[in-house]
Amino acid sequence: MIDIQNLTMHFGDDRVLEGVSASIPEGEVVSVIGPSGAGKSTFLRCINRLETPQSGHIFIGGEDILAPGADVPRIRRKTGMVFQSFNLFDHLTVLDNLILGPVRILNEAREVAEARGHELLRMVGLGEKALSLPCELSGGQKQRVAIARCLSMRPKVMLFDEPTSALDPTMVSEVLAVIRRLTREGMTMVIVTHELNFARDVSNRIFYMDEGGIYESGPPDQIMRAPQREKTRVFINRLRSFRYRIEHKDFDVFEMNADIETFCEKHFFRRKLMQHIQLAIEESLSLYFLRGNPGAITLTLSYSETEGTVQLLFEDQEASGDFLKAAEAGDELALTILKGIVHDIVWQPTPKGNRIVMTLNETS
């Protein structure tokens, strides 16, 4: 139904999409997820050419909407788009919003269009709002009218651009319910969303967008439970990380501690957890420094919101063997303290040096 080939789009120097290709067969529901600024919306808006990319082809039902001289309005009619900000026509009643397109574009008789309009409004649960003005509706109601308005044009594909992002949490579910209903009716859909659980439930395939393209795609279970690539994993587990590079034994410890405190406060860590993190770092570094100058160490502190764990990662470039074992043999006090506060601690060799990974629990 939709065939996207080699889509490239730049905004000035900003390379938003870089050679994106994808194919969406009829009846498939694709959710597009990813961090903000990854080009999700741009990708979607290229499909109905609200944005015109620099190069590429997008075939909708076999017709290239990006071809020079393409009858864009006609090809666009095969798609319907639901916007984050609803974009109902404010000067028209709900019913008139639904019949404007059919009457003016499809040349349907007004009576026929009105009958179908009423039917669609009942489908989205707003049968009694036909004569209301958009300004009299709640956000969730507006978005359901917007969906009905799209359907009134009998599109083959529905494009959703963050349909629930502008809604109160209490109104999200009523909109999602209507979208779910459409999936049951076999509508081909592309949904840009931040609702990961919804994306998992409703879609056949998920595109994770990052680095100017579809970074990883696959069935929802795979993307959500076992993402294959690093950035997907970070996104799905809602990892937040902090990195600090220690160049020398006499580094600015106060600066590092201040940075860590800022990071902890930003993510509402409890005071005790923060102290444990700082203590763990201090003791680990003392293990390092006991053995002379280890060169540059990269410290990564990452926090997984979904798992509720904090991971500390030390990486250095000195081939020195498993010094945790050495420390254990030497009965170092630092190691004893470390073991008292971290959940687990592992040493791993890397091609150039060492890696120490330790985990702390949010509740510890």
Partner 1 sequence: MDLPAIFQNLAESLDANVLQEQRYLLLLDGLKTTILISIGAIALGSLLGGVICRMRMARRLGVVVPAKIYIGIIRGIPLPVMLLLAYYVVFASVNISPVWVAIAAFAATFAAYAAEIYRAGIESIDSGQREAGLALGFTRVQTFTHIIAPQAVCRILPVYKGEVINLVKMTSVVGFIAVQDLTRTADIIRSRTFDAFFPLVLVAVLYFMISWLLLMTLTALEKRLQPRRSRQRSAGHD
Each as own residue / partner, the long-range contacts of residues 272-277 (CB below 8 Å, 24 or more positions apart, any chain) are: 273/310, 273/360, 273/362, 273/364, 276/341, 276/342, 276/360, 276/364, 277/301, 277/310, 277/312, 277/360
Distance between CA atoms of 358 and 90, rounded to whole angstroms?
Answer: 56
Q: Which of 36, 91, 184, 271 binds partner 1 (CB under 8 A)?
A: 91
Burial class (CB in 10 A: 0-12, 13-18, 19+), 317: middle
> Between vectors from CA 21 to CA 18 and to CA 27, what angle results, nearest 5°?
140
Distance between CA atoms of 298 and 307, rounded to whole angstroms?
Answer: 24
93/364 with CB nearer partner 1: 93
For the segment 50-69, give every residue that binds partner 1 (CB under 8 A).
50
- Point out which span in 11-19, 72-80, 303-311, 336-344 binds partner 1 (CB under 8 A): 72-80
Q: Which of 34, 39, 53, 101 binds partner 1 (CB under 8 A)?
A: 101
Pull the structure tokens for residue 40.
């999700």
Q: How many residues bind partner 1 (CB under 8 A)?
A: 32
Q: Which of 40, 142, 144, 149 binds partner 1 (CB under 8 A)?
A: 149
The arrangement of strands across the sheet holding 157-161 comes to 79-82, 157-161, 188-192, 29-33, 205-210, 213-218
Q: Is 105 in the site for partner 1 (CB under 8 A)?
A: yes
For the segment 15-34, give every residue that binds partner 1 (CB under 8 A).
none
Q: Which of 5, 93, 317, 320 binds partner 1 (CB under 8 A)?
A: 93
Q: How far apart are the first and last CA of the chain?
A: 52
Shortest CB 102 distance to partner 1, Å: 10
- Point out which span in 79-87, 201-209, 312-320, 342-350 binds partner 1 (CB under 8 A): 79-87
- Point out which span in 119-127, 128-136, 186-194, 267-275 binds partner 1 (CB under 8 A): 128-136
List contacts with partner 1 (CB under 8 A): 48, 50, 73-74, 76-77, 79-81, 83, 85-93, 96, 100-101, 104-105, 131-133, 136, 146, 149-150, 153
